[in-house]
């Protein structure tokens, strides 16, 4: 089992963020010890990493909560969860392509300046 501080370090996030995610209902899978402190299993650590991935790729908290709620319902929701991941992947791929186009334009501008500036 991991403590909240260990999870924060392993997932490169703040303790405050973990508490916020818990308050928002994104961490229904964590347990508490006799003292009331959160305890995290290896499985919950992986789920937190997934939550961070989804958040970092633009999925709103509300949608992440929906995904986690479906996950907690069990295997009968696997098709819905898969569909959510497919839809999110499409959106991330679209954003990625937009970023690549913008990066290419920036590179073009840099090469333009490089041709004008003697070394």
Dump pLDDT digits (tens) for 46-64. 999 999 999 999 999 999 9
Question: What letter would DSSP give residue 39?
Answer: E
Measured between its terminal Cα atoms, the distance across the chain in Å is 57
Q: Give 101: exposed, middle or buried? Use CB within 10 Å, 0-12, 13-18, 19+.
A: exposed
Position 116 confidence tier, pLDDT thresholds 50, 70, 90: confident
4-115: which CATH architecture?
Orthogonal Bundle (1.10)
Q: How open is the CA angle 9-4-16, to the nearest 5 degrees?
A: 80
For the chain, which residues make up each domain, given as ranges?
4-115
Residue 119: what pLDDT? 59
């Amino acid at each position: 089992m991991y403590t909240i501080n260990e999870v924060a370090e392993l997932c490169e996030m703040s303790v405050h963020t973990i508490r916020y995610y818990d308050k928002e209902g994104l961490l229904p899978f964590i347990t508490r010890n006799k003292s009331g402190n959160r305890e995290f299993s290896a499985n919950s650590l992986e789920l937190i990493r997934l939550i961070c991935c989804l958040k970092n790729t633009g999925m709103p908290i509300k949608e992440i909560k929906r995904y986690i709620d479906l996950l907690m319902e069990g295997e009968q929701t696997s098709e819905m969860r898969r569909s959510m991941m497919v839809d999110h992947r499409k959106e991330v791929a679209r954003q990625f392509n937009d970023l690549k186009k913008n990066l290419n334009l920036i590179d073009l501008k840099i090469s333009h300046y490089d041709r004008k500036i003697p070394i």
